[in-house]
Amino acid sequence: MTQRTDAARARLLARLAEVEARLEAQRRAVEGIVESARDANVDDEHDPEGATLAWERQQAAALATGAQAERRELLAALDRVAAGTYGVCEVCGRPIADARLEVRPAATRCVEHAG
Ligand SMILES: [Zn+2]
């Protein structure tokens, strides 16, 4: 392990902890929405409050999906660190700039081949 991959690993783990905290907070938020729906005894979908709750639940689920995707990317990046292929562009095989990896630690492509 070089110093560079140690730093990358630490960065990925820190980001992963953030994402997991976010997922946990969202899970609680969804539970809270379900809870308040039960308290309000919303059984009519035409009830304006019922529609709001459904929308809130949808928003929370969309956020959780984003966080889960980010979590998968970070785990894949950690695998690449272990395999010694981290920080290499999957298109051109050249190293991805450190500045880019600082912003997007799970990046799989260099700036030139991103997007
Ligand atoms: Zn490239």
Q: Over 60: is that where the pLDDT of 76 sits?
A: yes
Ligand 1 centroid distance, CA of 111 (Å)? 7
**Residue 42: predicted pLDDT:** 55
Ligand 1 centroid distance, CA of 70 (Å)? 21
Average pLDDT over residues 92-101: 94
**Cα radius of gyration rounded to whole Å, the chain:** 20
Ligand 1 centroid distance, CA of 35 (Å)? 48
**Residue 77: predicted pLDDT:** 97
What are the tokens at 113? 């081949």
Average pLDDT over residues 69-85: 95
Residue 57's pLDDT band (cuts 50, 70, 90):
confident
Average pLDDT over residues 53-60: 84
Cβ contact 70:26 at 8 Å: no
How is the chain split into domains, by residue range? Answer: 3-86
Ligand 1 centroid distance, CA of 96 (Å)? 7
Q: Which residue has the tokens 């992963």?
A: 16
Terminal alpha carbon distance of the chain: 30
Q: Over 80: is that where the pLDDT of 10 sits?
A: yes
| pLDDT tens-digit series, residues 11-47 | 999 999 999 999 999 888 888 888 887 777 655 556 6
**Residue 41: predicted pLDDT:** 63
